[in-house]
Amino acid sequence: MNFETLMAFFGRHPMLSLALAGLTLAILYTEIARLFRGYKAIKPAALTTLVNQENALVVDLSASADFEKGHIPGSRNLTPSQFSPEAKLVAGAKQSPVVLVCRNGMASADAAKKLKKAGFEQVHWLDGGIAAWDAAGLPLVKGRA
């Protein structure tokens, strides 16, 4: 495909061309915004490294019953209704790495945004949540311990 063929396509299909341009701009905006948002999505392997090397605080935002069914070893539970940057569990960790976890990664991403806005320096969220952790074959602990 050469430049002339591409220009001919754009001339014959203006609506498809506009849709392509719009989608391209939307993707670029999303990716650039992700780079500057200040909190990072991490995978299960990176979470284990962060906990082992930097003693990260792992906060599980699952409902209590779900937390008891299975959670990451060493994680602490705060339900979404209890979660705030001022919560006693996280308030003292403004300079430490904090990793937020939930069942699927959605609630933890929202909570990470709140922590970053509150001035926390090293905020992460587990991309894919407990489901991704389990799919990676990493251990889950049952009960409250």
Give the tens place of pLDDT for each residue, 80-113.
Answer: 888 989 988 888 889 999 999 999 888 898 899 8
Catalytic residue among 58, 61, 90, 102: 102
Report the length, in residues, of the chain. Answer: 145
Confirm whether 102 is a catalytic residue.
yes
pLDDT at residue 5 is higher than 80:
yes
Considering the domain delimited by 38-135, tell me its CATH architecture. Answer: 3-Layer(aba) Sandwich (3.40)
pLDDT for residue 145: 59
Domain boundaries, the chain: 3-34, 38-135
> Does the pLDDT of residue 141 top 70, yes or no?
yes
Is the Cβ–Cβ distance between 144 and 65 less than 8 Å? Answer: no
Rg (C-alpha) for the chain, rounded Å, is: 20
Of 129, 91, 88, 93, give the one whose Cα is nearest residue 108.
Answer: 129
Q: What is the reported pTM?
A: 0.75
How far is residue 17's CA from residue 9's CA, in Å, rounded to a whole number?
A: 8
Q: What distance lies between CA 133 and its chain's CA centroid?
A: 13
